[in-house]
Amino acid sequence: MKHGQAFRLAVALLGAWLCAGPAHGEPSGAGPMGSSPVGEPRPAIGGEGNDLPWTFKLNGSAGAATVTNPANGRTEIFNTLSLQPELGWRKFGLGLDLYVYFDTNGKARERDWEKARDLVNKIWYVRWGRKGDPLYARLGGLSGVTLGHGFIMGGYTNRLRYPDIRQVGAVLDFDLDYGGAESVVADIQRATLLGGRVYVRPLRGTKLPLLKGLAFGVSGVTDRDPDSDKGSHDDQVSVYGADMELPLASNDIFSAKLYGDAAMMRLGKRYTDRGSKDNGKGFTGGVGGKVLFFDYRAEMRSADANFVPTFFDGYYEIDRSTGGARKADLIPSNALPRRTGPLAQLSANILDKIRVSGTYESLNYDPMGIYPRVRGEVRVDPSLFLGKFEATSQYERRRLSKFGDLGRTRNTDSILTTELAYLVGANLRLVAVFKQTYDELGRSVRSTQLRADVRF
C-alpha cells in the first residue's frame, strides 16, 4: 500500500469510527495515573482489574491543537482526529497513535503520512513489563528516563514538544540479581542520543547482611549530533561515570540506600575551539528510600565549573540546540571555582488517589544560569471529585531567584503542562490541555488543546 493510500484509509477509518462511536465493549475509565506524560493519551492496558490475560481497547479523540505547520514553519491551530488502539497480553502492551490534522479550510495534512519515518512516529508505545521489573522494555514515547541515580541522565523525555515533535525512542532494562543493565535511545531513527549503565552485585551470593546488596556500576551517555545537522562536525557531547550503592534497610515501612557517583564530561572540538573547557568532573553522594507512603532522596553535589550535573535532563530536547547555540557552548573556559550544592526530592502516593512529588536542586556558582531549579507533579484521581473530574499537572522552573516567582510562568525558564478532564460518562471525557514550552529559537510558547476522548 502506498503512503497516499495509507493516509486516505486512515482518514476514512478515523471519521467512520468517531461518527459511529463506541458500539460494544466493557466501560472503562481513564488509564492508570502516571502512565504517560501530561497532555498525551494515557494507556489503559496490561490487564489491570481484568482476569483475562489479554485486553483490547480502542480510544479516540476529536479536538484542536496548536502545532507547527511544516509547510511554512508557523505555529497554527489545526483540528484533529485521532485513534489510539491498544492491545495487551500479560506483560506485553502495544499502542498506536493514529492522527490526522485538518487546517482551517478543512484540508487534511498529508505530510504526516508521506514518509516511512512518519509511519514509525505513529507508534505510541510497545512495551514489556513495567519499570522496576526484572525485564522492562519500551519502544515509543519516553518520559522521566533516569539512568542509575540520575547524575548523568535524569528525568529525560523525548516528548517535550509533543505533539509538535514526535520521536520514537527505546528503553531496555534487566536485572539478573547479581547484576544488570539499563539503556536508552532517544530516537531510533537517528540514534544520536543514547546511553546505558551496567552494574554488578559481587557479594550477592554471600550471607553478609548489608554487603550482599552492595552494587558497583559504570554509565555513559553521548549525543553525537545535538543540532541534527549532518553538515556540522565535532559537536558531540559525552558524559561517563561510575557509581556505587549500599542498601541499609528495606521493608514495607522504611527503606534506606546510600549511594555515590563520579562522572566526567568529554566535549567535541567545536566546543573546545570556542573556549569551553573539556574534562569537567563532578561528584555526588546521598541517601534515598521510603518512609510509609513517602519516597525521599537527599544528596550533596560537588562539581568543577565546567561540569554540569544531570546534563541530559528534562529540558535537554530544547537546550541541546537552541537558536544556533548548543547547551555545551555555555560551558565555561575553566574548572574553577568548584561548585557545591544540595538536591532534595520528596514524593508521596496517598491511597493511589493523590500522587505528588517535588524536587529542589542548587549550586553555589552557576555560570550557565540553571540554578536554583525546582520540579513538581500532581495527579488527582477522579474519585476525589465524585468521579467527574480529573486533574494532572507537571511543572519545572529554573533560575528561581525567589519562591514567590513560582507562580510566574510566563518566561523562558518554565515548562508547564496541565490537563483538566471532565468525565461525561464511562466512555467519554472532555479534556483541556494547557502547555508552556519553547520553540527552536528558545522563545516561550504557550498552547491549548481541546479535545473529546472516547474510550471503549
Which domains are assigned to the chain?
133-371 (2.40.160)
Cell representation of residue 358: 517535588
Indicate if the pLDDT at residue 429 is higher than 90.
Answer: no
* Residue from 396, 401, 399, 394 nearest 414 by CA: 396
Indicate if the pLDDT at residue 301 is higher than 90.
Answer: yes
Q: Among the listed ranges 38-52, 321-335, 397-411, which one has the minimum average pLDDT value?
A: 38-52
Residue-wise pLDDT for 319-330, tens only, equals: 887 766 788 998
Q: How confident is the model at residue 19 (pLDDT cuts 50, 70, 90)?
A: very low
Better pLDDT: 390 or 404? 390
Q: What is the pTM of this model?
A: 0.83
What pLDDT does residue 63 have? 81
Cell representation of residue 280: 569537567
Better pLDDT: 65 or 351? 351
- Cβ proximity of 253 and 292 under 8 Å: yes
What pLDDT does residue 166 have? 85
Q: How confident is the model at residue 47 (pLDDT cuts 50, 70, 90)?
A: very low
Q: Is 401 left (phi over 0), alpha (psi -120 to 50) or beta?
A: alpha
What pLDDT does residue 14 have? 46
Pairing of strands 237-250, 254-267: antiparallel
- Cβ proximity of 125 and 161 under 8 Å: no
Where do runs of H (alpha helix) occur along 111-240? 116-120
What pLDDT does residue 32 have? 26
Residue-wise pLDDT for 80-106, tens only, equals: 888 889 999 989 999 998 988 888 888
- In this structure, the number of other CB atoms found within 10 A of the CB of residue 223 comes to 25
**96 half-sphere exposure, CB direction, 13 A CA radius:** 14
Cell representation of residue 447: 498552547
Cell representation of residue 46: 496490561
**Phi and psi of 86, rounded to 5°?**
-135, 135
> Which helix (H) or strand (E) element contains residue 179?
strand 179-185
Distance CA 19, CA 379 (A): 32
End-to-end Cα distance, the chain: 29
Cell representation of residue 286: 546521598
